[in-house]
Amino acid sequence: MLYLIGVVAFALGILISVSLHEAGHMVTAKAFGMKVTKYFVGFGPTLWSFKRGETEYGVKGIPLGGFCKIVGMTPQDDDVDPADEPRAMWRFPLWKRTVVMSAGSVTHFLLAIVTLWLAAIFMGLPNPALDKPQAAYVKVTNCVVVDAQNRDCTATDPAGPAKQAGLQDDDKITAINGVPVATYTDLVNEVRKLQPGSQATINYQRGGADQQVNVRLGSVQRPPVDDPSGAVTSVAALGVAGTLPPGIPTMIKYNPVTAVPATADFTGNLAVNTVQSLQRLPQKVPALWDAITGQPRDADTPISVVGASRLGGEAVQHGLWEVFVLLFISLNFFIGVFNLLPLLPLDGGHIAISWFERLRSWVAARLGRPDPGRVDYFKLMPVTYVVILIGGAFTLLTITADIINPITLF
């Protein structure tokens, strides 16, 4: 029951955030004097609506987003009443159109940042130490995953060498074959230098006492540490994961004042991670297809709203509200950045065209040539259809993977 509540709550939260996205467009457009004729939550047949002033508000039958109709979004709009021509969006100054078109993404960013600030106060944010090099404290794994997939152990994976040798969680590795290791990164690098299947002497501390053990290393397939997208090769594996030193909290709470810089730092990291995730999207398509065709699901593959809602349900089921909230924040930030990509029909595509028009007019004026005028959106329709087709196929792929072979928390 808790799982279902979590799924519905997360999906509802995303629907509300997308509705606020469209409200951002509407509010800024109205503030500048543009005419907004419709604001609806959902798509498909109208379930309920009312008209206030010149705008019709309502709810439609398919709760998969929303839309806001601004008169004259492009010069080619053919449904503009002659009386509304002066208020057509394309007639307004460039900066006003930019504000209106970016208002949806800004709404997502504000929603994410405000939620982050509240989370920092009442729930806490991940300890910043998690992003810094740590001493080589380890968590011993039950197995080593042989293939280059980010997944849980299966019956075919060999037992973890460290576990077989008697290493325990929270042991601090200090040296391998006499070579000191100061951080967990050093540990990984030193293990990678060794021959798969060879024997290694591990020096470690447990309870403050220095100890030593010999371990027969495993053999796994991994890309280079500094190039996750590089060619996979056979490397040595110890069968451990990095962990924080005992007693270090994973979450830290802040007061309303100290929560401000903490929120800013987290937002900066989130922005970097979001951009990196977008850059990796094309190379993750094969992994999504593998997941659909029966291969283990890579936890680093993209997820749809369906997959995110399922993770939200798991988080609520296990009482992990911090995971629920941080997932909601991350998804909002991702949607905000994605919508600013300079591709039609995304908001960023309209913004890019507006600025291209201005630049083209400026260049023409400097060269003494006539103003080339507005971009003909009809000529861009083939490109727009290609973007829609690719986006639709990718969405269908992620939804299918999230239904057939979803990413799970446990």
Query: Is 22 a residue of the active site?
Result: yes
Pick from 275, 251, 405, 289: which is nearest to 341 by CA?
275
Domain 131-242 in CATH 3.40.50.300? The answer is: no
At 70 the pLDDT is 92
Give the pTM. Answer: 0.80
Residue 328's alpha-carbon distances to 90, 119, 262, 332, in angstroms, are 34, 11, 18, 6
Residue 121's alpha-carbon distances to 52, 116, 219, 224, in angstroms, are 39, 9, 45, 39
At 330 the pLDDT is 93
At 182 the pLDDT is 92
302, with CB counted inside 10 A (0-12, 13-18, 19+), is: buried
Domain edges within the chain: 131-242
At 229 the pLDDT is 64
Mean pLDDT for back-to-back runs of 10 residues, the chain (410 residues): 90 92 96 94 90 92 86 79 87 94 96 96 87 87 85 84 93 94 92 92 92 92 77 89 84 94 92 87 84 82 89 91 93 93 91 92 90 85 89 90 86
